[in-house]
Amino acid sequence: MERLLKNYGKGFTLVELLVALIVVAILVSIAAPSFQDLIKRQRLKAVVETLLSDMRTARSEALALGLAESVSVSFAYSSSGQTWSYSIANTGTLPTVTRSHSDYAGGVTAAVTGWGASSSAASFSITPVRSLNVSGVGTITFALESLSVKVERNLLGGVFVCSANGDLGYSTCT
């Protein structure tokens, strides 16, 4: 009888198991929205950081080419901003870098102002002399639902990033 009682005391009852499952379900339902928001923020930040890195590489490449050539940066986008792409190339050669909205699991929209932007394209060149931008000032605004980030390049080649709410680790846009 004593041996039988020892074996009976091992394991969980059905009630204990159900209570544990309910507690886990409550914790998951609380954490899921925060986790989804984190994923959106990181997806948008990945787009911005990749563009910044590509633009810095283009600037370095223009400086390495010397006075003979420049590097061009071209943007193509739909009016809705749902489809977009950019490419960076030495003048007259194949693109060094090409990226598009599909590289980032979709959902990130882009709108370009400045740099001679038309309804579907914009471009500028980076010259080796102080990385001057002969196409003027321009801004790319990336958005994902309620989040948005602006990447601006000025006449002197400076690149600035800001976000509407000061989130994602960038300063607040003025």
- Which residue in the block uniquely carries the two structure tokens 């500028």? 124
Domains and CATH numbers, the chain: 10-172 (3.55.40.10)
Per residue in 31-81, pLDDT tens?
Answer: 777 788 888 888 889 999 998 888 888 777 777 777 667 788 888 988 888
pTM to 2 decimals?
Answer: 0.74
CB 73 within 8 A of CB 123: yes
Sheet containing strand 95-100, strands side by side? 95-100, 84-90, 71-77, 121-126
Residue 21 to residue 44: CA distance in whole angstroms = 34
Per residue in 79-93, pLDDT tens?
Answer: 888 889 988 887 656
Mean pLDDT, rounded, for 161-165: 86
- Per this entry, what is the length of the chain? 174
pLDDT at 127 over 80: no
